[in-house]
């Protein structure tokens, strides 16, 4: 889960990391009022789960409450890089001496934590790493050892001497935040040294491990604060993994890998998926019913493709679930059904006996995808 | 022969009395796997279908000579269960549990690299050597004994691809579901090294997906160390960048980790990359024929 900057900064404050004073504004009026509080000049920052805000016009330096209101109105109306925007962060303007960078992340290749620091903050760090790797300090931290003083010296040694002490305090707190909040990434770009010598985190990028939300109740509560599609909300409540896409073939499958493969095979037959929906392992009749309801509520869907390879999931249960769902809701589009694996024969028999007019059975994944593409009217030549 | 599990495998099931643990223990036993012990803290001294249950893995190992553990305990306790098995001297731990916090896995990963215990998973379907032993939740009936090895990040894609192979009469030496979590045990490289050394594996199928760099590292390893033919499949060509597709591992970020990038890296290493699961079986059949002709 990627946190909004203002949520990340709340975490920073709680861990003793200095950040600018700021106010979350949900309307132009609130932004103007906040700017007035900061003496008439402020920074307005769009709040989205995406990077590249500086370059993309998501950050505005404003010199009056009126300007803050105007810029906020535009951000709320236009969104940012395809993301809806329902709030901005209005912060005090600080006199900056120089911009630095610090981050920690969990490196999935090695299973270690990695700390990164450079004296050249405020730029795209991927570009810096590619062009001038020498400017970027990198330390590997064994998860069982944790951050040691020598790690800290190595990281902060890249900063100018005047900023080292202030930066070291922040970097130490960043690492404890990473562990205590079950984050997989904490990044400060830029970390700034002010004209008066103080060091402050001007930005905050924090990603929380979804698997750890069960033991981070305060962070788990934030999950419902992000604006998402109504259909995605329903799916999440039912415990389904659902992602809206922009094609016409509604997809239901079990297991993320198989569902992704289904998307690919549908594309191979010239059609595009309307969604990704993974019912997970051991899907019950009720799960199948909810999945179908979710998919059929998307008006773009012209056909539904259900691709099940039963392992823990039993095909007879899936078959009953599909029929149960079709008893509860009216299917306005055809449903292509492919069942294989555990209890597949029983599942196919149940479907055949029901002889539902909307259900088309397909013997293999390829034939199911081809059928679905044809029925969606999207099949290639 | 085979890799990781075989006739010598003696399994202890951690969480044997839970709903998942008991269901799959019965399936593994029915397949012919030697399940010699179970562990459920507080239920030591009881038996499950005649299998003795112990309070600790150390006791189970002492009393039964178990050398392989399979973990079905809930995510909150799973990291602890892996560590306990390692300290009890188990050679291989197969962790099925999904949803373990990555911080816990990072610590487990760090600890295990100091010792001799190997880990498969977590969030994986397990390991099967068809006809010999099934440790985990892979439906044994889709597999058939043979000489093609398989290693996969996704669970259901193991079933799908094995099914395609079996339908064409191509049997498997061992199928390894390595799991989709960001920090995991045995990966493509370690599995490839074992298949390369296995005299009874003629070809390896590698099933990857978007996110991370496991496939890219596998490509580099294949180029330098693997003479056994490899056929690969990557899921997620149609996944839009920046969208999570269920698996913790399946996240596309920027230019790296995409299906196209992975396919390219593997092809550059001489690996045949299929675009659909059924094409995997076609490519495998083709290469096995070519090999037979060459011989």
Poorest-pLDDT segment among A101-105, A128-132, A271-275, A318-322: A128-132
Residues on chain A touching B241 (C-beta within 8 angstroms): none
Task: Give the domain ranges of chain B.
Answer: 1-123, 138-295
Interface touch B245/A259, C-beta < 8 Å:
yes
Interface touch B102/A142, C-beta < 8 Å:
no
The Cα A139–Cα B295 span in angstroms is 51
Residue of B nearest to A1 (CA): B244
Interface touch A312/B137, C-beta < 8 Å:
yes
Catalytic residue among A4, A101, A113, A242: A101
Apex A338 CA angle, A245 and A310, nearest 5: 95
Give the end of a domain, one of A78, A93, A108: A93
Based on the fold, state whether residues A142 and A283 are members of the same structural domain: no
Residue A336 in any domain: the answer is yes
Q: How far is C-alpha B116 from the chain's CA centre?
A: 18
The verdict on ipTM greater than 0.85 is yes
Distance from the A263 Cα atom to the nearest Cα atom in chain B, whole angstroms: 6
Residues on chain A touching B109 (C-beta within 8 angstroms): 111, 143
Please state, for a pLDDT cut of 70, what percent of chain A lies above it: 98
Residue A178 in any domain: the answer is yes
Q: Is B65 left (phi over 0), alpha (psi -120 to 50) or beta?
A: left
Interface touch B239/A276, C-beta < 8 Å:
yes
Q: Cβ(A373)–Cβ(A263) under 8 Å?
A: no
Name the pTM for this structure: 0.91
Based on the fold, state whether residues A26 and A67 are members of the same structural domain: yes
Interface touch B101/A209, C-beta < 8 Å:
yes
User: What 3-state DSSP class applies to B65?
Assistant: coil
Question: Which range among A108-117, A146-155, A336-345 has the greatest average pLDDT?
Answer: A146-155
Q: What is the per-residue DSSP string for A135-191? A: G-EEEEE-TTT---HHHHHHHHTTS-HHHHHHHHHHHHHHHHHHHHTTEEEEEEEEE
Collect all residues with Cβ–Cβ distance below 8 Å to B138 and sequence separation of at least 6.
A311, B125, B126, B127, B128, B155, B158, B159, B162, B175, B177
The Cα B125–Cα B176 span in angstroms is 8
Based on the fold, state whether residues A238 and A217 are members of the same structural domain: no
The Cα B158–Cα B277 span in angstroms is 10
Residue A42 in any domain: the answer is yes
Collect all residues with Cβ–Cβ distance below 8 Å to B74 and sequence separation of at least 6.
B15, B18, B97
Residue A380 in any domain: the answer is no
Based on the fold, state whether residues A85 and A165 are members of the same structural domain: no
pLDDT on residue B247: 47
Give the end of a domain, one of A227, A251, A271: A227
Q: Is A95 exposed, middle or buried (0-12, 13-18, 19+ CB in 10 A)?
A: exposed
pLDDT on residue A310: 86
Based on the fold, state whether residues A74 and A130 are members of the same structural domain: no
Is A82 at the interface with chain B, CB within 8 A? no
Expressed as residue numbers, the domain containing A83 is: 21-93
Q: Cβ(B21)–Cβ(B15) under 8 Å?
A: yes
Based on the fold, state whether residues A122 and A149 are members of the same structural domain: yes
Based on the fold, state whether residues A249 and A296 are members of the same structural domain: yes
What are the residue ranges in chain B where pLDDT is below 50?
A: 247-255
Residue with the larger pLDDT of the pair A283 and A3: A3
Residue A380, pLDDT > 70, answer no
**A194-226 CB burial, b ≥16 within 10 A, e <16:** beeeebbbbbbbbbbbbbbbeebeebeebeeeb
Question: What CATH architecture is B138-295?
Answer: 3-Layer(aba) Sandwich (3.40)
Catalytic residue among A5, A30, A91, A187: A187
Q: Alpha carbon of A168 to those of A101, A161, A347, B71, B125: distances in Å?
A: 12, 11, 62, 41, 44
Interface touch B76/A278, C-beta < 8 Å:
no
**A235-255 CB burial, b ≥16 within 10 A, e <16:** beebebbbbbbebbbbbbbbb
pLDDT on residue A330: 82
Pick the residue of A249, A261, A278, A365 with the most B CBs within 10 A to test the interface with B by mutation: A261
Tokens at B213, concatenated: 């760099």
- Look at residues B249, B256, B241 and name the one whose alpha carbon lies nearest to residue B207: B249
- Run of H or E residues at B151: strand B145-152
pLDDT on residue B190: 97
The alpha carbons of chain B give a radius of gyration, in whole angstroms, of 19
Active site residue B247: yes
The Cα B91–Cα A263 span in angstroms is 39
- Residue B269 has a CB neighbour count (10 Å cut-off) of 18
Based on the fold, state whether residues A33 and A86 are members of the same structural domain: yes
Is A272 at the interface with chain B, CB within 8 A? yes
Residue A136 in any domain: the answer is yes
Give me the residues paired with residue B93 across strands: B69, B119
The Cα A335–Cα A290 span in angstroms is 15
Residue A15 in any domain: the answer is yes
Based on the fold, state whether residues A26 and A15 are members of the same structural domain: no
Give me the residues paired with residue B150 across strands: B175, B205
Interface touch B243/A243, C-beta < 8 Å:
yes
Q: Cβ(B166)–Cβ(B142) under 8 Å?
A: yes
Interface touch A276/B105, C-beta < 8 Å:
no
pLDDT on residue B1: 67
Residue A21, pLDDT > 70, answer yes
Based on the fold, state whether residues A131 and A26 are members of the same structural domain: no
Residue A235, pLDDT > 90, answer no
- Look at residues B179, B168, B166, B245 and name the one whose alpha carbon lies nearest to residue B208: B179
Tokens at A345, concatenated: 């024969």
Q: Is A177 left (phi over 0), alpha (psi -120 to 50) or beta?
A: alpha
CATH of the domain at A258: 3.40.50.261
Residues on chain A touching B238 (C-beta within 8 angstroms): 245, 260, 263-264, 266-267, 272-273
pLDDT on residue A127: 82
B1-123 adopts what CATH topology? Rossmann fold (3.40.50)
Based on the fold, state whether residues A179 and A298 are members of the same structural domain: no
Into how many domains does chain A fold?
3
Catalytic residue among B24, B109, B163, B247: B247
pLDDT on residue B135: 98
Interface touch B103/A253, C-beta < 8 Å:
no
Domains B1-123 and B138-295 are alike in CATH topology: yes
A120-163 per-position pLDDT tens digit: 988 888 788 888 888 999 999 999 999 999 999 999 999 999 99
Is A126 at the interface with chain B, CB within 8 A? yes
**A140-176 CB burial, b ≥16 within 10 A, e <16:** ebbbeeebeeebbeebbebbeeebbebbbbbbbbbbe
How do strand B145-152 and strand A205-208 relate by DSSP bridges?
Answer: unpaired
Q: How far is C-alpha B265 from the chain's CA centre?
A: 22
The Cα A234–Cα A81 span in angstroms is 24
B58-100 per-position pLDDT tens digit: 999 999 999 999 999 999 999 999 999 999 999 999 999 999 9
Partner residue opposite B125 with nearest CB, options A142, A263, A311:
A311
Report which DSSP code applies to B288: H
Partner residue opposite B101 with nearest CB, options A50, A182, A312:
A182
Based on the fold, state whether residues A201 and A74 are members of the same structural domain: no
Active site residue A113: no
Give the end of a domain, one of A45, A61, A93: A93
- Residue pairs spanning A and B at CB distance below 8 A: 168
Residue A46, pLDDT > 80, answer yes
Partner residue opposite B137 with nearest CB, options A184, A212, A311:
A311
């Amino acid at each position: 889960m990627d946190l909004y900057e203002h949520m990340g900064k709340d975490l920073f404050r709680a861990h003793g990391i200095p950040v600018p004073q700021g106010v979350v504004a949900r309307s132009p009026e609130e932004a103007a009022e906040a700017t007035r509080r900061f003496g008439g000049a402020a920074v307005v920052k769009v709040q989205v789960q995406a990077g590249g805000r500086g370059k993309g016009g998501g950050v505005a330096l404003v010199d009056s409450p009126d300007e803050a209101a105007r810029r906020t109105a535009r951000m709320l109306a236009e969104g940012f890089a395809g993301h809806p925007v329902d709030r901005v962060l209005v912060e005090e303007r600080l006199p900056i001496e120089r911009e630095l960078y610090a981050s920690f992340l969990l490196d999935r290749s090695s299973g270690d934590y990695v700390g990164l620091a450079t004296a050249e903050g405020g730029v795209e760090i991927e570009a810096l790493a590619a062009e001038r790797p020498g400017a970027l300090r990198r330390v590997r931290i064994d998860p069982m050892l944790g951050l040691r003083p020598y790690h800290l010296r190595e990281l902060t040694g890249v900063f100018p001497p005047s900023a080292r002490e202030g930066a070291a305090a922040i970097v130490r707190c960043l690492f404890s935040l990473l562990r205590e909040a079950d984050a997989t990434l904490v990044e400060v770009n830029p970390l700034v040294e002010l004209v008066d010598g103080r060091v402050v985190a001007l930005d905050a990028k924090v990603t929380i491990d979804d698997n750890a939300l069960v033991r981070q109740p305060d962070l788990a509560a934030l999950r419902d604060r992000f604006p998402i599609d109504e259909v995605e909300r329903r799916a999440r409540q039912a415990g389904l993994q659902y992602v809206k896409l922009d094609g016409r073939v509604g997809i239901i499958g079990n297991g993320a890998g198989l569902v992704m493969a289904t998307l690919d095979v549908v594309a191979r037959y010239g059609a595009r998926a309307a969604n990704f929906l993974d019912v997970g392992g051991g899907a019950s009749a009720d799960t199948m019913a909810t999945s179908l309801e979710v998919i059929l509520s998307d008006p773009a869907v012209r056909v539904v493709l259900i691709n099940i390879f039963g392992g823990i999931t039993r095909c007879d249960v899936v078959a009953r679930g599909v029929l149960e769902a079709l008893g509860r809701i009216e299917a306005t589009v055809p449903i292509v059904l492919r069942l294989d694996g555990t209890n597949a024969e029983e599942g196919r028999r149940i479907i055949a006996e029901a002889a539902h007019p909307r259900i088309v059975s397909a013997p293999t994944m390829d034939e199911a995808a081809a059928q679905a593409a044809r029925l969606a009217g999207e099949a290639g030549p | 022969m085979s890799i990781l599990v075989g006739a010598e495998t003696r399994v202890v099931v951690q969480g044997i009395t839970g709903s998942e643990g008991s269901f799959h223990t019965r399936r593994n036993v029915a397949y012919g796997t030697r399940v010699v012990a179970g562990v459920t803290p507080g239920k030591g001294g009881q038996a499950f279908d005649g299998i003795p249950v112990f309070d600790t893995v150390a006791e189970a190992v002492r009393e039964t000579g178990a050398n392989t553990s399979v973990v079905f305990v809930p995510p909150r306790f799973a990291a602890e269960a892996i560590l306990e098995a390692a300290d009890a001297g188990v050679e291989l731990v197969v962790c099925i549990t999904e949803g373990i916090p990555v911080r816990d896995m990072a610590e487990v990963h760090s600890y295990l690299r100091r010792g001799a215990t190997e880990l498969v998973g977590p969030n994986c379907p397990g390991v099967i050597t068809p006809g010999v032993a099934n440790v985990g939740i892979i439906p044994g009936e889709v597999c058939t004994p043979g000489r093609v090895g398989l290693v996969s990040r996704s669970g259901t894609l193991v079933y799908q691809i094995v099914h395609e192979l079996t339908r064409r009469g191509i049997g498997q030496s061992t199928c390894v579901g390595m799991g989709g979590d960001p920090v995991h045990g045995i990966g493509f490289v370690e599995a490839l090294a074992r298949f390369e050394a296995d005299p009874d594996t003629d070809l390896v199928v590698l099933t990857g997906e978007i996110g991370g760099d496991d496939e890219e590292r596998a490509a580099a390893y294949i180029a330098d160390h693997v003479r056994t033919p490899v056929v690969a499949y990557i899921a997620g060509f149609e996944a839009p960048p920046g969208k999570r597709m269920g698996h913790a591992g399946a996240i596309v970020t920027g230019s790296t980790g995409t299906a196209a990038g992975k396919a390219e890296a593997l092809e550059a290493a001489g690996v045949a990359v299929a675009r659909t699961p059924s094409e995997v079986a076609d490519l495998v059949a083709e290469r096995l024929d070519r090999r037979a002709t060459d011989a």
